[in-house]
Chains A and B, each alone.
Chain A
């Protein structure tokens, strides 16, 4: 393992120091070293909080900013933030209009958020949640509530962040976040494993010449291991998993997000995107907006995720709103 680190056990705290320095125009520290909030938090809106484990840069922290999330609870690598961090994040952004906590569907996050909400309630902070579950291969369709939240969370934050910025009520922000994630499906393909710096070697295996279809953001096994294929076939596999599940059909307008998993060169993501767009076009699905890059990663894993969101006029307007966060800057 060759890494640019000091003590691997302190990597998250050291990363946060650098992040806060580099992006002081967007984010500010709080009293809790594991909570980062907007530098320019308005005083009269629903607060938007998310949180999760580290190692997904720009995942989570990179989506704090104007018209996006207001605060984030930061956990250890691949590990949920504490209940205390979620609670402090709620406190930091609560302006009296309540807090929307929009996060992924991982057991640690579920437990810590649940406990933080219990504590927030005692302080009179109204917190409502939407749990993202866009990762198609992580559970069958009739058990959608068990699915993981992956890169689709970014589109959920984008829509809900824009809605909250317009002065919407907590219930309206929650409703749009739910609608956003209900309209979104994702799939991931991993072609190399990733290494936790404190562990020093990969904790799972993807054999050379193979790929894991349906892999999770922490290397959770997928649904199938098969020989590595050219980008055109990978794109077809991904599209064939994502499209029928919603289902997305001819005439639909969609947002497409292709994210690298960390170590795949960005140029390859564009090769993949081109193939995906061709396949969508052939099925009469129109891409209204595309995001291609490292939006939600898994340390140094190679591979990519595809996220597709179906737009109606409301979601389209919200997705098109400007935003300014480190991970997503849109004019």
Chain B
């Protein structure tokens, strides 16, 4: 199949939540190196609440994303609330009532999410934030779409680009967010937001690949 049915997408969202739960300690550890060490705790809290809340609901991928974004935005706070809240809500808005989510739809959703994010944060590529994971992942997806790549292969490219983007934050000096005050001392470690963004995009891609292959 060239994509997934939007109606089947709940399993993808649960996979994203599970990935955050599994990586709670890892994310807090990464955050603790140059931040305050609460990233894993707060991400876990938000995604666990989300998974519990949608447990018995029938919802599409885009409906679920909107629920997730709203929950993070209104109930979790931190930096993560407005950042991921905006990203997911705007992605859901762009996906809308699509029956099928294919490479083009997903790219358009991520592009809308990034645009929304840029309204909220000043961070741009190179600033050692989750933008450094998101932008290459999105560009890889758009590139795959232009090349007419198969959905599963396109998601594979997106995953690889997300991981590369995340790893590139090691050598960057933080220019935005809490670690930006460290200047040179922020160099040499991953950015926690870039790490969580990579976990989420990877889990999303893998969840979609499972659906697309069945």
Chain A residues proximal to chain B, CB less than 8 Å: 9, 53, 75-85, 106-108, 111-112, 114-115, 138-139, 146-148, 196, 198-199, 203-204, 216, 218-221
Contacts and interface: CB of A to CB of B under 8 A. Distances in A.
Contacts of B37: 78, 196, 199, 203-204, 218-219
Contact of A196 (B41, B75, B81): B41
- The 6 residue pairs across chains A and B that have the minimum distance between CB atoms: A203-B32, A203-B37, A218-B36, A82-B77, A79-B78, A108-B79
Interface of A is mostly: loop
Given A83-B82, A107-B176, A221-B185, A75 B77 contact: yes
Contacts of A114: 120
B73 interface: yes
Given A111-B121, A112-B82, A221 B182 contact: yes
B165 to A, nearest CB: 20
Contacts of B28: 196, 199, 203
Interface in B11-61: 25, 28-29, 31-38, 40-42, 45
A203 B31 contact: yes
B38 A76 contact: yes
A216 B82 CA distance: 23
Interface string B72-98: 011111111111000000000000000
B79 to A, nearest CB: 4
| Residue from A81, A85, A108, A138 having most chain B Cβ neighbours under 10 A | A108
A80 B81 contact: yes
Interface of B is mostly: helix
Contacts of B73: 82-84
Contacts of A76: 38, 41-42, 45, 76-78
Contacts of A84: 73-75
Contacts of B185: 221
Contacts of A106: 178
Interface string B127-139: 0000000000000
B181 interface: yes
Contacts of B25: 199
B181 A82 contact: no
B125 interface: no
A220 B82 contact: no
A115 B82 contact: yes
Contact of B76 (A82, A139, A203): A82
A148 to B, nearest CB: 7
Contacts of B32: 199, 203-204, 219
Given A78-B36, A203-B31, A218-B35, 8 more contacts: A79-B79, A83-B82, A84-B74, A111-B120, A199-B25, A199-B37, A218-B36, A221-B34
A99 B121 CA distance: 24
B148 interface: no
Given A108-B79, A203-B32, A218-B36, A198 B74 contact: no
Contacts of B42: 76, 79
Given A78-B38, A79-B42, A218-B36, A108 B77 contact: yes
Contact of B78 (A108, A196, A204, A220): A108
Given A76-B77, A112-B77, A220 B36 contact: yes
B175 to A, nearest CB: 10
Interface in B155-203: 176-178, 180-182, 185
Nearest to B32: A203
Nearest to A214: B181
B77 A79 contact: yes
Contacts of B79: 79-80, 107-108, 111
Contacts of B77: 75-76, 79-83, 85, 108, 112
B182 A220 contact: yes
Contacts of A221: 34, 182, 185
| Residue from A76, A81, A203, A204 having most chain B Cβ neighbours under 10 A | A203
B45 A220 contact: no
